[in-house]
Structure 1
Amino acid sequence: MTDLLWPGDARAGDLFTDASVVEAMVRVESAWLAAGGHPSELSTAFSVRDVAVAAEGGGNPVIPFLELLRSRNPEVAEHLHTGLTSQDVLDTALVLQLRDTAAFVARNLDRQVAALARLAERHRGTRMAARTLTQHAIPTTFGLKAANWLHGVLDARDALSAAADLPIQIGGAAGSLAAPTALAGSPAAALERVAATAGILGLPARPPWHTARAPFTRIGDAFVTCTDAWGKIANDVLLSSRPEVGELSEAPAEGRGGSSAMPNKHNPVLAVLIRRAALAAPPLGATMHAAAAGAIDERPDGSWHVEWATLRTLARRTAVAADQTAELLEGLRVDIERMAATLTAARPGIDAERRKMGDDGPYLGASDELIDAALARAQGKPC
């Protein structure tokens, strides 16, 4: 899958493509069959595009998907989907896609943590001018700046870890498990089949959440928390890579950073694209909350439907930005001499608070201890 208008989209690979969503729906139907004593290797010899085109008729892709799946698997057609509803299949398929996306993002968060820990340690003594409200404030170190970036990434990793354990969704037509109970013979047996299906898919079981959408809003919020942290880093890189500042720069790469009109330019493209993702993510997260707040009755009308593409877009864009941020940090170039020159040029004004405090030292406060705390947290140690 590629997106001409979202450069870098190919980094997300097969995550949340139409084909992978259909494959996830097949996995859900197959697991439900197996849990009901009808294991089957389901044939999917049909066009994903046909499913997409026909989805308008019933308002969701599960209906034409099932028609094609039954026609290709007549030996289990009477058992296929029996006891489920469209929302069960699509929600659980989205859960499987979100789990894969969260794992991809988590791997890249680990790369970012490692890169930032190296930067914080290597540059704990690299002095530079701190800036507040865009102006020179007091002396600081780039190591402390990297440590602060690190805390943001660790917060994002914690948020993602807490939200990524998404549950199965099986509730039947109106969330009461009526049909599964009739099939299984008792409520206990129906719940056992739900738990068995969850086990086959490697998901936790929980009561139906057709109109209680916290599992999806939590993972959406976690993705936004990630892009928030990466946006902060990208903003700092963009400001510091301005020619008149020149303290940071992206690693050069073949074919990256050029201009269609100005051959002299080396644009900080990774930071630009990361910032783009950070700007675009919050409205998508807000759409998920609006959908959750708009749910009605036992199955939502419209508010459920708006979630699908929103989740796909937010998930893929987060995955892309995750990989871009890891690459940016692993190759980030720090101009120590430029930082020192800027600090020198800012004197004597930048030392005004130090003189006011009567301090004769470097005026770096507890920078080393704060860096150590960030590094300890990155290693899973108490801060």
Structure 2
Amino acid sequence: MADGGLHGELFCDREMAALLADRAALQGMLDFEAALARAEAEAGVIPVAAADAIATQCRADFYDIAEIGRAATLAGNPAIPLVKALTQRVAAIDVEAARWVHYGATSQDVIDSGQAQQYRAAQDLILARSERLAHALAALAREHRRTPVIGRTFLQHAVPISFGLKAANWLGPIVSFHDDFMICGQSAHQLGGAAGSLAALGDRAEAVSEAFARVTASVGAVRVPWHTERRRPARIAAELGLLLGHLGKMAQDIALMAQTEIGELAEPDAPGKGGSSAMPHKRNPVLCTLILTAAKRAPGLVATMLAAMPQEHERAMGGWHAEWPTLRELFIIAGSALNQAVALIEGLQVFPEQMQYNLDLTNGLIMAERVSLALAATLGRGEAHHLLEQASRDCLASGRHLRDVLADHPQLAGRLSAEELDDLFDPTSYRGATDAIIDRILVLYEEERDYMSGNG
């Protein structure tokens, strides 16, 4: 993963890969052991000198990851061989201190806490990227507030909308995700011991628990162990799944609008980007493709996290283990998809002239709803709708503009003045609550900006 391998950074970028690499996982587990020793020394359970000796050996560079991995295959998890290796290193410098390594803790404390440290760093990266994406989408919504584009339902022309409205609707869920993920996306260290009661620490258990929370405050710790209460990782997975689903929606919209026959948008251009091995003229939407790839992988991963929640008694048999690669994979694909979404939106090419061309394709039919509503004032809604259906069929059959068909219609001709028709067939004036909706989403974005910038 470090160098991307054959697939480069198609599915995992280097920055996120580094945060979730085995070395980072190992360092997270070692940081737990150092924090545990400091907390126990603070509570008077182990000598301060022992805690210092243990901390000096808690550097990932001291350990052979492959060797620990081979031992983990037999042991059932990597914490067991790691604790053994750590104990040996501490014994080499202080035999007395070695007896206090991992004192009162269990493998799950080590693994969950080490992963929590990794996920906290990954969460920060996800939030930074979602912030950048929100800024780009807000700028797009403002710039194209009044740019008309055809709205499409069931992939067919419906009525005109503003491209700024579409961009604002892309923005809203990103703002909500950022807000939600700042809270429920936080993983946490835990200390529960063999069965979640810290019984091995006797009457000093509560003191150690308090000290451990203080020692790990900068990376987050909870006082109640969550060995088999797995809402925390499941909620993180669900939020990442929701994010990926929305990014997929954005990518799919853009890819459809970038089709040759539509041509309203295009991905950022670069030499060699989106080419075809067979067709020199191709410009494939590769960013959209990769975002959609992540969105299609996410549901199965989220489902695995939910399926892993019913865990047996005080230690899971398989469910906990299933979480390890699954949540890591969700962070990886979410980080990659966000990176690609930022590149996509920041460099998105918008073609208002083509949007206008497509608005004109149906010879005014996209304004039939508006004309029908205007006529309803004198004809009644049902009759007006019926007559506009007839006129629309005549428009399609003849290839004439709907306005010309109306002028020749025996029951509709003359009912609307030329000035009224000019306004009715102007897509830029058919806005409804467009500005209010855009403004509401932008207000939410502005309110979140302080939190995005760390000022909230």
SS in 1 for 2:309: helix
Number of the residue aligned with 1:372: 439
Question: For 1:180-195, what aligned pairs fall within 5 Å after superposition?
Answer: 181-182=201-202, 185-195=203-213
Of the candidates 331, 334, 344, which is equivalent to residue 347 of structure 2?
A: 331
Amino acid at match of 2:22: D
Tell me, yes or no, if structure 1 residue 341 matches structure 2 residue 357.
Answer: yes
2:33–2:102: 8 Å Cα contact kept in structure 1?
yes
Q: State the Cα deviation string for residues 204-239 of structure 1 (Å, max 9, x = none).
A: 323011110011001111111111121111000110
Amino acid at match of 1:324: Q
SS in 2 for 1:379: helix
Please identify, of 29-38 and 282-291, the stretch whose mean Cα deviation from structure 2 is larger: 29-38
1:291–1:303: 8 Å Cα contact kept in structure 2?
yes
Tell me, yes or no, if structure 1 residue 161 matches structure 2 residue 182.
Answer: yes
Number of the residue aligned with 2:75: 58
TM-score (norm 1): 0.94
1:138–1:351: 8 Å Cα contact kept in structure 2?
yes
Amino acid at match of 2:184: A
Deviation (angstroms), 1:8:
3.9
Number of the residue aligned with 2:108: 87
Distance 1:154 1:215, change over 3 A: same
SS in 1 for 2:220: coil
Q: State the Cα deviation string for residues 112-144 of structure 1 (Å, max 9, x = none).
A: 111011100000111010001111110101000
Amino acid at match of 1:26: L
Of the candidates 10, 13, 18, which is equivalent to residue 13 of structure 2?
A: 10
Deviation (angstroms), 1:254:
3.6
Distance 1:381 1:21, change over 3 A: closer
SS in 2 for 1:146: helix
Higher helix share: 2
Whole-angstrom distance in 2 between the partners of 1:304 and 1:348: 59
Q: State the Cα deviation string for residues 80-122 of structure 1 (Å, max 9, x = none).
A: 1111100001001111111111110100111111101110000
Number of the residue aligned with 2:36: 32
TM-align CA RMSD: 1.7
Number of the residue aligned with 1:103: 124
Whole-angstrom distance in 1 between the partners of 2:333 and 2:262: 30
Amino acid at match of 1:107: A
Number of the residue aligned with 1:21: 25
SS in 1 for 2:157: strand
TM-score (norm 2): 0.79
Question: For 1:191-270, what aligned pairs fall within 5 Å after superposition?
Answer: 191-199=209-217, 201-270=218-287
Whole-angstrom distance in 2 between the partners of 1:164 and 1:381: 16
Please identify, of 333-342 and 251-260, the stretch whose mean Cα deviation from structure 2 is larger: 251-260
Question: For 1:129-168, what aligned pairs fall within 5 Å after superposition?
Answer: 129-168=150-189
Deviation (angstroms), 1:198:
2.7
Whole-angstrom distance in 1 between the partners of 2:330 and 2:5: 14
Number of the residue aligned with 1:71: 88
SS in 2 for 1:206: coil
Q: State the Cα deviation string for residues 272-307 of structure 1 (Å, max 9, x = none).
A: 0001101101110110110012x0111001111110
**Unaligned stretches of 5+ in structure 1?**
none
2:175–2:448: 8 Å Cα contact kept in structure 1?
no
Whole-angstrom distance in 2 between the partners of 1:248 and 1:106: 27
1:194–1:205: 8 Å Cα contact kept in structure 2?
no
Of the candidates 321, 331, 345, which is equivalent to residue 305 of structure 1?
A: 321
Deviation (angstroms), 1:381:
7.3
Distance 1:346 1:53, change over 3 A: farther
Please identify, of 148-157 and 186-195, the stretch whose mean Cα deviation from structure 2 is larger: 186-195
Number of the residue aligned with 1:41: 56
Of the candidates 281, 284, 287, which is equivalent to residue 304 of structure 2?
A: 287
Tell me, yes or no, if structure 1 residue 363 matches structure 2 residue 430.
Answer: yes
Distance 1:224 1:254, change over 3 A: same
Amino acid at match of 1:34: R
Higher relative contact order (CA 8 A, sep 6+): 1
**Unaligned stretches of 5+ in structure 2?**
42-50, 375-419, 450-456
Query: Higher Cα Rg: structure 1 or 2?
Result: 2
Whole-angstrom distance in 2 between the partners of 1:33 and 1:254: 55
Whole-angstrom distance in 1 between the partners of 2:363 and 2:105: 71
1:156–1:222: 8 Å Cα contact kept in structure 2?
yes
Deviation (angstroms), 1:260:
1.8
Deviation (angstroms), 1:3:
5.4
1:124–1:143: 8 Å Cα contact kept in structure 2?
yes
Distance 1:381 1:211, change over 3 A: closer
1:167–1:206: 8 Å Cα contact kept in structure 2?
no
Whole-angstrom distance in 1 between the partners of 2:175 and 2:24: 30
Q: State the Cα deviation string for residues 139-175 of structure 1 (Å, max 9, x = none).
A: 1010000000001211221231221232221100001
Distance 1:374 1:347, change over 3 A: farther
SS in 2 for 1:139: strand
Deviation (angstroms), 1:347:
3.1
Please identify, of 36-45 and 134-143, the stretch whose mean Cα deviation from structure 2 is larger: 36-45
1:15–1:316: 8 Å Cα contact kept in structure 2?
no
Q: Percent identity?
A: 38
Amino acid at match of 1:104: L
